[in-house]
Amino acid sequence: MKNEEMLKRLGSRFLNNSEIQQNQKSSKNSLDSFKSGTTTVALACKDAVILGTDKRASMAYFVASKTSKKLHRIQDHLWMTIAGSVADAQYLVDIIRAETSLYQLEREKPILVKSAAKVLSNILFNNKLFPYEVGLILGGVTEEEGPTIFNVGALGSLLPEKYCAVGSGQNYSYGILESKFKDDLSIDEGKEIITAAVRSSIIRDIASGNGIEYVVVKESGPAEKEFISIKEK
């Protein structure tokens, strides 16, 4: 059954006042009261991409985890941050990791960042009637593209960026990113900006916290991953 047909069936006038329909509305309202929050940021340096996140997973005022994993390796040269529904995001991480691995096995070369982002965008767009509740940042470095970042929206939007932030604390992070970003940043300068951006959100957003994790992704070689306690200055 197509998604459109499912919507028509759910919208039947015989169901509008039924107990089933009322239960569905009640369930939706209950789910809407549990809003998750996070802070994820990324920027492009001269020779690398740096992605950073906080470590807190929350539902409204409930802290579900203080060690949440929001940075995910897709391939050695390609990483992704996740925000929103954890289950949806983890499923998408598995899918895009599998798709990019198959591509590289067949062609024996690293997949372009824009190609991986397009695959992810197609998956999200094809499910837009029942969307994945996610906000994603995909970043990586290839010889053809250089340092590349895409902000991937829940409905499949694909926005190339030099820097971006996603999550409940994004507005606070943007204040740092917009004031300090410049072209041809060194990796050390990028680390300082990412750390300051996430820390700015942790200070002001109750849904963000419990430390800062970032990863430096280069064209070749292992990514450099580090955790910083929020008590460190």
H helices of the chain, in order, are 3-10, 19-32, 86-107, 113-126, 170-180, 187-204
Domain membership of residue 17 (yes or no) is: no
Domain membership of residue 5 (yes or no) is: no
User: What CATH number is given to the structural domain containing 201?
Assistant: 3.60.20.10
> Is there a contact between 137 and 170 (Cβ–Cβ < 8 Å)?
no
Residue 117 tokens, joined: 């982002």
Cα distances (Å, whole numbers) of residue 220 to 47, 110, 160, 214: 11, 10, 22, 18
Within 8 A by CB and 6+ apart from 169, the residues are 37, 38, 39, 54, 198, 200, 201, 202, 204, 205, 207, 208
* Residue 32: predicted pLDDT: 43
Domain membership of residue 63 (yes or no) is: yes
Domain membership of residue 42 (yes or no) is: yes
- Domain span including residue 42: 36-228
Residue type, 143: E
Radius of gyration of the chain (CA): 19
Q: Is 2 exposed, middle or buried (0-12, 13-18, 19+ CB in 10 A)?
A: exposed
Edge-to-edge strands, sheet with 134-142: 71-75, 78-84, 134-142, 146-152, 158-161
pLDDT in tens, 178-223: 999 999 999 999 999 999 999 999 999 888 999 999 999 998 888 9
Length of the chain as a residue count: 233
Q: Residue 167's Cα: distance from chain center in Å?
A: 8
Edge-to-edge strands, sheet with 224-228: 163-166, 40-44, 49-54, 212-217, 224-228
Helix/strand/coil for 107 = helix
Q: Residue 139's Cα: distance from chain center in Å?
A: 10
Tell me how many domains the chain contains: 1
Q: Of the residues 38, 53, 148, 195, which is catalytic?
A: 38
> Would residue 40 show up in a list of annotated catalytic residues for this protein?
no
pLDDT digit string (tens) for the chain, length 233 residues? 555 555 555 555 544 554 444 444 444 443 443 445 799 999 999 999 999 999 998 877 788 889 999 999 999 999 999 999 999 999 999 999 999 999 999 999 999 999 999 999 999 999 998 999 999 999 999 999 999 999 999 999 999 999 999 999 999 999 999 999 999 999 999 999 999 999 999 999 888 999 999 999 998 888 999 999 977 55
> Is there a contact between 111 and 156 (Cβ–Cβ < 8 Å)?
no
